[in-house]
Amino acid sequence: MNLNHRENVPGGIGQSESRLAHIAFIMDGNGRWAQKRGMPREYGHVQGAKTMFDIATLVFKRQIPCMTIYAFSTENWSRPQKEIEALTSLLHEYIKKARRIMEEDNVRFRFIGDYSRFGDKVAAMIEDLVRDSAGNRWMLNTALNYGGRDEIVRAANKALAEGKTMLTEEDISRHLDTAPCPPLDLIVRTAGEMRLSNFLLWQAAYAEFYATPALWPDFDEAELEKAIAAFSQRKRRFGGLVNK
Binding interface with ligand IPE (CB under 6 A): 26-32, 70-73, 76, 87, 191, 193, 195, 197
Task: Name the 3-class secondary structure at 165.
Answer: coil
Query: Per the residue annotation, which of 28, 105, 177, 185 is the catalytic one?
Result: 28
Backbone angles phi, psi at 169, to 5 degrees: -60, -40
Q: Looking at beta carbons only, is 218 or 225 nearer to Mg ion? A: 218
- Which amino acid is residue 128, in one-letter code? D
Q: Looking at beta carbons only, is 60 or 210 nearer to Mg ion? A: 210
Residues 198-217 that bind Mg ion (CB under 5 A): none
Known catalytic residue: 4?
no
The string of DSSP letters for 138-153 reads EEEEEESSB-HHHHHH
Residues 105, 136: Cα–Cα separation, whole Å: 9
Least distance CB 75 / ligand IPE (angstroms):
6
Residues 24, 11: Cα–Cα separation, whole Å: 22
Known catalytic residue: 141?
no
Choose which of 20, 26, 28, 227 interacts with Mg ion (CB under 5 A): 28
Query: Per the residue annotation, which of 76, 150, 171, 218 is the catalytic one?
Result: 76
Closest by Cα among 157, 167, 162, 141 to 66:
141
Residue 188, beta-bridge partner list: 25, 210
Segment interacting with Mg ion (CB under 5 A) among 22-30, 57-65, 79-87, 198-206: 22-30
Q: Which of the choices ligand IPE, Mg ion, none does residue 106 contact, using the CB cut-off of 5 to 8 A by kind?
A: none
Residues with a catalytic annotation lie at 28, 76
Binding positions for Mg ion, rule: CB under 5 A: 28
